[in-house]
Structure 1
Amino acid sequence: MTPSRLLPWFALLGCMACDPARSGRTDPPPTTVQPSHQDWKLVWQDEFDGPAGTPPSTERWSADVGGDGWGNGQYEHNTARPENASLDGEGRLVITARRERYQGNDYTSARYTTRGKFERTYGRFEARIQLPTGKGIWPAFWMLGANFNQVGWPTCGEIDIMEHRGQLPAIVRGSLHGPGYSGGENVGQEHVVAGGRLYEDFHVFAVEWDPDRIRWFVDDIAFMEVTPRDLPGNARWVFDHPHFLILNVAVGGGFVGPVDGTTQFPQQMRVDYVRAYSRVE
């Protein structure tokens, strides 16, 4: 990705490089309230069916290619190669971070988005994912406002459905970024997932996004809710326009820190499905 293609996308994007210690939210006991699936209608999905070694559907996804840090000091060069993202032939997309010298970077990985192909305002957005592990490994499932080219980041809005530090194998984080609450000052919190290490099994990560509320879930257990009243000061709620979906695995960066000798490669994020729903009227 050239610098011109980054503006204002990741050139301005402190985005997922958040510091939980500065975000002002702690993790209360998880709520046992579960979503009412009968209230939702499936409007978009990818079950990642297809032959092993083939790329994800070009009708649904596009690869973001490049390796200049992505605004977060990341180490990897994201590619469109099957070595970094391909179907496994068993109904999963596998994003693979590798230690290899490529285009001036010491690591490779992949980032896929639905930009220009699926963009939506409000709904339930979920993915069933088995996460990678290791210090400095940073997988994420998130959304970005489709108007970022017009208004820039963070005014476009960013919804981090799930991001994860590979060195903390039982913890995920959800957060919002917008004007006045972005980067290390985002609105979000971490959540300890029942059942222990996230690299051992699949889990469902989701948000339910309504006009005046966003709720975060892991395995249908709600752990956070944010409304306009929760924003700092006079900050503006910008979650009222279409966003697109992003799946990626970063190596290094401000949120996770560097890899070290304990980090094993390759590391893989396995995605069983991604689904989007609208509320039944």
Structure 2
Amino acid sequence: MRQKVIFIFLITTLAACSQPAVIAQNEGNFFASTPSWQDEFNYSGKPDAAKWSYALGENGWGNNELQNYTDEIGNAKVENGHLIITAIKEKSGKAEYSSARLVSKGKGDFLYGKIEVKAKLPAGTGTWPAIWMLYSENNYGNKSWPDNGEIDIMEHVGFDQNRVHGNVHTKAFNHVLKTNKGNNVIVDKASEEFHIYTCEWTPESVTILVDGKAYFTFPKEAEYKWAEWPFDKPFHLILNIAVGGNWGGQKGVDDSVFPQKMEIDYVRYYPLSEKK
């Protein structure tokens, strides 16, 4: 009987000792219940200029992409309560495709918090939509990518339908070095139904979720410096559809699928708060 009591005591003690590390990681952090920055797209026409700017050009964007990003309403418009980004097979500048890349930089810059985007994705080989975040300030290293960081809330390549990816990129961890940190998950009917793509970002971790279910967490380790963890400065949101490129074009581009759209029902940012 005494041995049984000792055994139970040891198991209870070990269990108690194992809990604080899990609790401490999130202790003191929670997200506000209402967003402090959002776009519900309850209007018509071009995206709200108070919240969004356009990244423009046809320079390949570091990935040998094939589209020209424009500010044309045919590539980015709001109607019926949705933002619609459309990639089109057409001559656009020197490119053979047009699309749009919306950025919130200078109009929506965030440090920690929860970002939610409800979206329905394009489909077809050669499409490469993304919902992601980049640094808004140049603070570290070469003052460029990847030193100042990237958070991918959702990436999808059309040749691998229904699989979405979440990643982070830093100087130490990035796809060029083949050291990037991330994961992927199957999302049923990703191009037929809306799903909620979320990033929960605290001083201790970056977590990526789909429909409220986390599938990737990148924790800040005690030994990390800026090269591993540049995620202590403001970031902004980017919404785009690329065509082709080093990843999206790995299996070519099927011109017959165009035009292709990413529809976004809403974008919401909930700030991080301290428990009181």
Residue equivalent to 2:68:
77
Once residues 257 and 219 of structure 2 are traced to their aligned partners in structure 1, the CA distance between those partners, rounded to angstroms, is 40
Q: Which one of 61, 84, 87 corresponds to residue 94 of structure 1?
A: 84
Contact 1:41 1:280 in 2 (8 A): no
Contact 2:82 2:264 in 1 (8 A): yes
Once residues 31 and 232 of structure 2 are traced to their aligned partners in structure 1, the CA distance between those partners, rounded to angstroms, is 24
Once residues 271 and 204 of structure 1 are traced to their aligned partners in structure 2, the CA distance between those partners, rounded to angstroms, is 10
User: AA paired with 2:221?
Assistant: R
Q: Could you list the runs of 5+ residues in structure 2 that have no partner in the other structure?
A: 1-28
SS at match of 2:133: strand
How far 1:102 moved relative to its partner?
1.3
Residue equivalent to 2:125:
135
Residue equivalent to 1:187:
181
Once residues 155 and 50 of structure 2 are traced to their aligned partners in structure 1, the CA distance between those partners, rounded to angstroms, is 25
Deviations 1:182-232 (A, max 9, x none): 134211111112xx2311100000010000111111000111111123999
Residue equivalent to 1:270:
263
In structure 2, do the counterparts of structure 1 residues 128 and 231 end up closer, same or farther at CA, with 3 Å as the change threshold? farther
In structure 2, do the counterparts of structure 1 residues 230 and 99 end up closer, same or farther at CA, with 3 Å as the change threshold? farther
Residue equivalent to 1:45:
38
Contact 2:32 2:270 in 1 (8 A): no
How far 1:280 moved relative to its partner?
3.8
Q: Which one of 196, 211, 234 corresponds to residue 204 of structure 1?
A: 196
How far 1:64 moved relative to its partner?
0.7
User: AA paired with 2:159?
Assistant: Q
SS at match of 2:191: helix
User: AA paired with 2:53?
Assistant: S
Q: Could you list the runs of 5+ residues in structure 1 that have no partner in the other structure?
A: 1-35
SS at match of 1:142: strand
In structure 2, do the counterparts of structure 1 residues 106 and 210 end up closer, same or farther at CA, with 3 Å as the change threshold? same
Deviates more, 1:225-234 or 1:175-184: 225-234
Q: Which has the higher helix share?
A: 2
Is it true that 1:240 corresponds to 2:235 in the alignment? no
Contact 2:128 2:155 in 1 (8 A): yes
How far 1:38 moved relative to its partner?
7.3
Count of matched residue pairs:
241
Q: Which one of 149, 155, 160 corresponds to residue 152 of structure 2?
A: 160
Is it true that 1:58 corresponds to 2:49 in the alignment? yes
Q: Which one of 93, 112, 116 corresponds to residue 106 of structure 2?
A: 116
Contact 1:99 1:107 in 2 (8 A): yes
Q: Which TM-score applies when normalising by structure 2?
A: 0.82
Q: Which TM-score applies when normalising by structure 1?
A: 0.80
SS at match of 1:254: helix
SS at match of 1:199: coil
Once residues 156 and 99 of structure 1 are traced to their aligned partners in structure 2, the CA distance between those partners, rounded to angstroms, is 34
In structure 2, do the counterparts of structure 1 residues 214 and 40 end up closer, same or farther at CA, with 3 Å as the change threshold? farther
Identity, % of aligned positions: 38
Deviations 1:233-270 (A, max 9, x none): 99521100100000000001112225434751100000
